[in-house]
Amino acid sequence: MTTDWKGSAQRFFEDRAEIVPGVPSSDELCFISGRDPRLWRHAALYDDMIDSIVRQADLSGDTDLLEVGCAAGFLARGLAGRVRHYVGVDMAEEPLRVAARLGLPRAEFRHEEGGRLSFQSGRFDRVVSYDMMTNVPRMETVATIVKDMVRVVKPGGRVMVGSIPDEASREAYQEVVKAVGADLDARYGPVPPAQPKPRWRMPSRWLGALWPSRVEPGIVCYYFSKQAFLSLGREMGVATVIHEIHAMNPYRGYRFNVVYTKSTA
């Protein structure tokens, strides 16, 4: 086995998306993206998140929007109808197939990797990546992805990097996560296990023999400092604003959003 974080994350999302048939439910979209579905069953919480993204990224009906790390469309179903055209990209292919089954108007999904986007410079009015950088272990890699996002946004356009766990409050945040989980357990019971659709799989012992370096599926929550994103903004020569995440989120105060505005010069 390897410690390839990118391969582990890709397999995590691919494996989960593979067992979701048809048009995905909200709970299934949460499952694929690694979110707790019990929390997101509250429509008001989801709407509050979408409204905050629309406001902070300055989206409108005239916006051509790119989302980097869209997974199976958890955010797309709320954002696509708020803009002129939505494009979602992800490094994992199977979640994109699930996202396409949502049938969202004015939306398309493409297999692309953040940091290696194939779009021409200045292609989009706005670019968003929300709750994705938590899977990336190093700020150097995050910087590569963000710089590519800034490249493909138009002069004067905004790039939003959202829901980043704050390194300064790591211990307190972990305690809040435990408390929120305990509260959800008390109210709804544990998260039910996913039921995979019947299909033949090569036994794991055979896979291990054939591909001894294959990675195991998994994601890790990584933390970053606000200062690192402010420093990145100065390096890129763009205006940088740190925002709180949306008001109804139980992790407000422990995560943050960053909005970069590309210079028109």
* Cα–Cα dist 202/206, whole Å: 7
pLDDT for 205: 46
Domain hosting 217: range is 5-261
CATH code for the domain in which residue 181 is found: 3.40.50.150
* Cα–Cα dist 108/113, whole Å: 15
pLDDT for 3: 66
Beta-strand ranges (E) seen in the chain are: 64-68, 85-90, 107-111, 124-130, 153-165, 239-244, 255-261
Residue 59 gets the label, from left (phi > 0), alpha (psi -120 to 50) or beta, of: beta
In this prediction, the residues of the chain whose per-residue pLDDT falls under 50 are 1-2, 196, 198-208, 211
pLDDT for 215: 72
> How many other C-beta atoms lie within 10 A of the C-beta of residue 132?
24
Q: Does the predicted model carry a pTM greater than 0.95?
A: no
pLDDT for 1: 37
Q: CA dist 163 to 28, 30, 143, 245, 246, Å?
A: 21, 15, 16, 6, 9
pLDDT for 203: 47
* Cα–Cα dist 223/48, whole Å: 24
pLDDT for 237: 97
Looking only at the bridges linking them, the beta strands covering 64-68 and 85-90 are parallel
| Number of domains present in the structure of the chain | 1
